[in-house]
Amino acid sequence: MNKSFDVKKFASKNSIYIVLIFLIIVVTIASPKFLTVGNIINLFTTESIKGLLALGVAFCILSKGIDLSLGSIVALSAVVSASLIQNPTYSAQMFKGLDMPIGIGVPVAIVAGILAGTIFGVINGALIAYTKIPPFIATLGSMVVVRGLAMLYTNAYPVPMLKNEFKTVGQGNILGIPNLLIILILFALIAWFLLNHTKFGKNVYAIGGNDVAARVAGIKVKKNIILVYTWSSFCAAVAGVLLAARTGSGIATLGLNYELDAIAAATIGGVSHNGGVGRIGGVIAGILILGVVNNGLLLLGVSPYIQQIVKGLIIVGAVVFDMRKNAKAA
């Protein structure tokens, strides 16, 4: 028996994508420059870094947690990788005389930066899993500590004059597609695979839905919580290394408030703060919605302060929508 097409159900299920298409149409009408190739590439490049963070923090929110340390981890990873790949001719080089061959130096700088940031995900996860500290408090503390470490490591000075081969990682492209966008797509596919086709992904949904029931069902909740926050920090650490490569400098203030944009993107994308509900496709749509709003307001010459207000209203609206949706489902 043929079932009639349920428009209301379809609209509810795909509301995030409908909103995205609506925004694109509105911004395109308001500013003809929006759909130019150069502007679209600029939009994707700008949002790719925050997109990586959103893909990481989405796992935390799915497990009914949060990660406020992401922006600080971006900064620490950026300064660590930058300090190892400075041009040796620079008179104020952090490590005087350090001149690793490119074949070794670039991979070492990338791996060191990623490890420096990722280790704090292990610490965050262990704190939350074994001490029962609320994720908000644990990652808030990490946010302050990690930012302080980045400041201490560089004495609050920028780490500039990076080798061109390292900068190519963040500034280059393949067949006209920015490397940053390619890496974001790769991470989105990995995140989608983890959530939909691995035991770990099922465990994340189960823990977010009901951690007590998950524990009774035999899921190793503590181990999975550590993995969730490790993944989140890993994404932020990769973003930090890429940001240093893109800007050609490591600065301890990089990534300031990036965690808010990442959390906003995941929330707008339908990842429920009640845990256990959300899709990677929605997170990507959330990233694009914020990107279109930011880019559109910029093209229209709207004050940056008003942009912040608009972004805040969108976040509040998304949370209210999420709460009403969950209340109806209950």
- Least Cα distance to 67 among 49, 80, 79, 55 occurs for 55
How much of the chain is in helix, strand and coil states, percent to nearest 5?
75, 0, 25
Cα–Cα separations (whole angstroms), residue 80 to 147, 154, 164, 205, 261 = 12, 9, 17, 34, 23
pLDDT digits (tens, 9 = 90+) for 126-157: 999 999 899 999 999 999 999 999 999 999 99
Which secondary structure element, helix H or strand E, spans residue 216, and what is its range?
helix 211-216
Q: What confidence category does residue 295 fall into, taking pLDDT thresholds of 50, 70 and 90?
A: very high
Instruction: Give pLDDT, residue 129.
Output: 96
Q: What confidence category does residue 3 fall into, taking pLDDT thresholds of 50, 70 and 90?
A: low
pLDDT digits (tens, 9 = 90+) for 158-211: 999 999 999 999 999 999 899 999 999 999 999 999 999 999 999 999 999 999
**154/327: higher pLDDT:** 154
Spatial distance between the Cα atoms of 233 and 71, rounded to a whole number of angstroms: 10
- Least Cα distance to 166 among 250, 240, 109 occurs for 109
Cα–Cα separations (whole angstroms), residue 158 to 110, 131, 254, 269 = 18, 36, 10, 35
Instruction: Give pLDDT, residue 327.
Output: 62
Instruction: Give pLDDT, residue 322.
Output: 66
Q: Name residue, tokens 């050609």.
A: 248
pLDDT digits (tens, 9 = 90+) for 299-321: 999 888 888 888 788 778 777 77
- Least Cα distance to 209 among 191, 221, 199 occurs for 221
- Least Cα distance to 251 among 156, 111, 118, 116 occurs for 156
What average pLDDT does the structure give for the chain?
Answer: 91
Give the list of residues 6+ apart from residue 1 with CB closer than 8 angstroms, or none. Answer: none
∠ CA 89-93-96, nearest 5°, is 85
Instruction: Give pLDDT, residue 306.
Output: 85
% of the chain exceeding 90 in pLDDT: 70
Spatial distance between the Cα atoms of 328 and 300, rounded to a whole number of angstroms: 38
**264/327: higher pLDDT:** 264
Cα–Cα separations (whole angstroms), residue 251 to 76, 96, 151 = 9, 19, 9
Take residue 239 and report the two structure tokens written for it: 């973003």
pLDDT over 70 (residue 285) = yes
Instruction: Give pLDDT, residue 304.
Output: 82
